[in-house]
């Protein structure tokens, strides 16, 4: 069985690794740990294809440790115990390094089974995950490990790996190589920061290249067909999903319509207009609110249109909603008000309804005042009359603070005039 190009070209030294200079550059923390030869338990967190497995292998080689690899999707407690048993054999003389890929797929009991062995030093654990470890990894393992975050690579950082991959395949085939202008850059841009995907694309390009027996010609049109869709890091149930939605809302809240359109476009390109629609509806009330109440109405109309149209036409009303919300005046006064009221209710800070607000009342023998005595505001000038509405315990409590925008200030001025 032939070995994939991504495996054949895997870096052998730290200097061969592209990207991750914040961890592996000169005098950076992870590089110092690797060079020391004393390896702690670690968790590598980051997207696929950015070097987590490669670095784990280099750590094992540099420390002269025996490395075993398990995947969280298929590993069992028996698999872990079998590896631990090797610590008593010759292969475990210099230590056993367990590389556990996708640890987030292990259940709590399986993760707990590791604790005894990493505490007594029988194994050194390097776990990797594409999800936030603070959400998906058992706290006891987190507390016994150092977390290192691997970043997605820029297209400039990926270029050297792509060049090496093309040259290696050409050398293996014993042929000269001709690349049309833009081939390298297109692959680097189209693979979304994933080195493995870019290398796999190189292999496809070589296999489908024009071959005259002496020279391989890779043309740009063919490359575009092989990289039709950018490998956007997106998972509808994972961190990327919530990160993009968070970035969208914060961009709208910050009134940056261009950034908001960018994140909306990423959701559309992933085909996830449902999440986009839901978040826009929330933003209309949470971040624009009473500064422009019609924003909620317009956004609902745009969302309804988008869901009826479907992509690609849905992009138009959704873009309208994004731009409207980003450029609208902002107010979170309603959200702050209800959160303050909910805090009182949840803390048990409330009392009985005022007697005159009750739907029905009964005048018992102990009632000091007979009758309900509710004042009907519509019977009074300007449809307002002073009376108590809050429970006795909360009289004077203020939840809502008028925002500084024109709409809320007009309402404030109106009621200050009436209530005086």
Tell me, yes or no, whether 3 lies in a domain: no
Q: Are residues 138 and 161 in the same domain?
A: no
Which pLDDT value is given to residue 169? 86
Pick the closest to residue 287 from 337, 245, 328, 338 (CA basis): 328
Which pLDDT value is given to residue 239? 63
* Token pair belonging to 353: 């309804």
Q: Report yes or no: 261 and 321 within 8 Å, Cβ to Cβ.
A: no
* Token pair belonging to 174: 């014993």
Which pLDDT value is given to residue 368? 58
Q: Are residues 40 and 144 in the same domain?
A: yes
- Residue 194's domain comprises 155-226
Q: Are residues 25 and 142 in the same domain?
A: yes
Pick the closest to residue 318 from 250, 254, 255, 248 (CA basis): 248
Cα–Cα distance, 136 to 104 (Å, whole number): 5
Which pLDDT value is given to residue 1? 44
Q: Are residues 74 and 145 in the same domain?
A: yes
CATH number of domain containing 76 = 3.40.50.300
* Token pair belonging to 317: 């009303």
Task: Give CA separation, 401 vs 156, 191, 291, in Å.
Answer: 50, 49, 13
Tell me, yes or no, whether 101 lies in a domain: yes
* Token pair belonging to 263: 């994140």
* Token pair belonging to 152: 């997605």
Q: Are residues 211 and 268 in the same domain?
A: no
pTM tops 0.75: no
Q: Are residues 323 and 260 in the same domain?
A: yes
Q: Into how many domains does the chain fold?
A: 4
Q: Are residues 197 and 246 in the same domain?
A: no
**Beta strand pairing call for 146-149 and 123-129:** unpaired
Tell me, yes or no, whether 1 lies in a domain: no
Question: Helix (H, G, I), strand (E, B), or coil: what is residue 123?
Answer: strand
Tell me, yes or no, whether 252 lies in a domain: yes
Tell me, yes or no, whether 14 lies in a domain: no
Tell me, yes or no, whether 11 lies in a domain: no
Q: Residue 251 — φ and ψ, nearest 5°?
A: -70, -40
CATH number of domain containing 381 = 1.10.3710.10
Which pLDDT value is given to residue 206? 87
Which domain-ending residue is among 226, 254, 279? 226
Which pLDDT value is given to residue 316? 95
Cα–Cα distance, 58 to 17 (Å, whole number): 11
Q: Are residues 24 and 94 in the same domain?
A: yes
Which domain-ending residue is among 176, 205, 226? 226
Cα–Cα distance, 82 to 345 (Å, whole number): 54
Which domain-ending residue is among 84, 119, 149? 149
CATH number of domain containing 189 = 1.10.8.60
Tens digit of pLDDT at every position of the chain (420 positions): 467 787 888 888 888 888 888 888 888 888 998 888 788 899 999 888 888 888 888 888 888 888 888 888 888 888 888 888 877 776 667 778 889 988 888 888 888 888 888 887 778 889 998 888 888 888 888 888 889 998 888 888 888 888 888 888 888 888 888 888 888 888 888 777 788 888 888 888 888 888 887 888 888 888 888 875 555 555 555 567 788 899 999 999 999 999 999 999 988 887 888 899 999 999 999 999 999 999 999 999 999 999 888 888 999 999 999 999 999 999 999 999 999 889 888 888 777 777 777 776 555 555 555 556 888 889 889 898 898 888 888 888 889 999 999 999 999 899 889 888
Q: Are residues 73 and 134 in the same domain?
A: yes
Q: Residue 406 — φ and ψ, nearest 5°?
A: -60, -45
Which pLDDT value is given to residue 231? 53
Tell me, yes or no, whether 10 lies in a domain: no
Q: Are residues 109 and 82 in the same domain?
A: yes
Q: Are residues 245 and 345 in the same domain?
A: no
* Token pair belonging to 148: 């290192």
Q: Are residues 300 and 338 in the same domain?
A: no
Count of alpha carbons within 13 angstroms of residue 322, beta-carbon side:
28
Tell me, yes or no, whether 364 lies in a domain: no
Which pLDDT value is given to residue 296? 95
Which pLDDT value is given to residue 317? 95
Which pLDDT value is given to residue 187? 86
């Amino acid at each position: 069985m032939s070995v994939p190009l991504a495996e054949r070209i895997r870096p052998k030294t730290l200097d061969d690794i592209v990207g991750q200079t914040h961890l592996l550059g000169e005098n950076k923390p992870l590089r110092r740990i690797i060079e020391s030869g004393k390896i702690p338990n670690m968790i590598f967190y980051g997207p696929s294809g950015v070097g987590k497995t490669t670095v784990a292998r280099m750590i094992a080689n540099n420390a002269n440790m025996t490395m075993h690899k398990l995947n969280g999707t298929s590993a069992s407690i028996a698999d872990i115990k079998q590896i631990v048993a090797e610590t008593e054999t010759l292969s475990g003389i210099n230590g056993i390094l367990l590389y556990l890929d996708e640890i987030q797929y292990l259940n709590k009991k399986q993760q707990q089974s590791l604790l005894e062995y990493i505490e007594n030093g029988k194994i050194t654990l390097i776990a990797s995950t594409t999800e936030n470890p603070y959400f998906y990894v058992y706290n006891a393992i987190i507390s016994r490990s150092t977390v290192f975050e691997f970043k997605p690579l820029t297209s400039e950082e990926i270029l050297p790996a792509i060049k090496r991959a093309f040259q290696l395949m050409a050398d293996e085939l014993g042929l000269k190589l001709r690349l049309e202008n833009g081939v390298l850059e297109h692959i680097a841009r189209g693979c979304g920061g994933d080195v493995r995907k870019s290398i796999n694309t190189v292999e496809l390009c070589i296999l489908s290249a024009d071959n005259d027996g002496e020279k391989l010609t890779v043309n740009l049109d063919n490359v575009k067909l092989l990289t039709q869709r950018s490998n956007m890091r997106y998972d509808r149930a994972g961190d990327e999903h919530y990160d993009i939605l968070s970035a969208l809302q914060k961009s709208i809240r910050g009134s940056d319509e261009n950034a908001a359109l960018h994140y909306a476009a990423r959701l559309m390109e992933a085909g996830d207009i449902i999440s986009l629609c839901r978040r826009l509806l929330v933003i209309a009330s949470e971040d624009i609110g009473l500064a422009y109440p019609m924003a909620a109405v317009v956004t609902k109309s745009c969302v309804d249109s988008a869901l009826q149209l479907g992509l690609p036409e849905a992009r138009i009303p959704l873009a309208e909603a994004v731009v409207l919300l980003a450029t609208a005046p902002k107010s979170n006064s309603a959200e702050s008000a209800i959160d303050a009221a909910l805090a009182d209710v949840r803390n048990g800070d409330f009392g009985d309804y005022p007697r005159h607000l009750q739907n029905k009342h009964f005048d018992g023998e102990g009632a000091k005042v007979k009758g309900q005595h509710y004042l009907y505001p519509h019977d009074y000038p300007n449809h307002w009359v002073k009376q108590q509405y809050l429970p006795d315990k909360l009289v004077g409590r203020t939840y809502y603070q008028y925002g500084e925008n024109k709409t809320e200030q007009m309402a404030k001025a109106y009621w200050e005039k009436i209530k005086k």
